[in-house]
């Protein structure tokens, strides 16, 4: 299901029942994290019966800064809101763990260094 967004629609109308994932992308310093945090707060207030997860893969962990709330690799409620959970993925640590667990098998399959 697609949903066309028009400039006249309020920002929170980006959400609709079929939406499962919304990604923010762009160059560094353009406000991706700030917009994601603000949108997440707006959604959880507007739709208290829905559950939302806001997550970041940014190594700077600026999502914690945006909420002034410590987030980590385990999903945690933000501001004690039952319908808003936050998570900061440590991509480097996940890759290191994946490599430690599967590196030998991958090396055998591709025949190169992993």
Please give the C-alpha separations between residue 13 and each of 31, 40, 45, 46, 96, in angstroms, as whole numbers: 20, 12, 13, 10, 39
Overall average pLDDT of the 43-48 stretch: 88
pLDDT digits (tens, 9 = 90+) for 48-89: 999 999 999 888 878 999 998 889 889 999 977 889 999 999
pTM of the model: 0.70
Q: Is residue 4 part of a domain?
A: no
- The enclosing domain of 21 has a CATH number of 3.40.50.300
Catalytic residue among 13, 17, 58, 65: 58
Q: Spell out a b/e string for 12-21, using b for 16 or more CB atoms within 10 Å of the CB, else e.
A: eeebeeeeee
Q: Report how many domains make up the chain.
A: 1
Binned at pLDDT 50, 70 and 90, residue 1 comes out as very low
d(CA 15, CA 4): 11
Q: Are 22 and 39 in contact (CB under 8 A)?
A: yes
Q: Is residue 54 part of a domain?
A: yes
Q: Is residue 92 part of a domain?
A: yes
Active site residue 17: no
């Amino acid at each position: 299901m697609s949903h066309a967004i028009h400039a006249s629609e309020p920002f929170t109308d980006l959400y609709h029942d079929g939406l499962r994932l919304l990604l923010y992308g762009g160059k560094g310093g353009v406000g991706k994290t700030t917009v994601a945090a603000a949108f997440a707060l707006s959604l959880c207030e507007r739709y208290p019966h829905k559950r939302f997860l806001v997550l970041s893969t940014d190594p700077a962990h600026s999502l914690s800064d945006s909420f002034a709330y410590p987030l980590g690799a385990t999903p945690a409620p933000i501001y004690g809101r039952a319908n808003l959970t936050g998570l900061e993925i440590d991509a480097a640590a996940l890759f290191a763990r994946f490599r430690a667990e599967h590196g030998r098998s991958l090396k055998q399959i591709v025949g190169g260094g992993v």
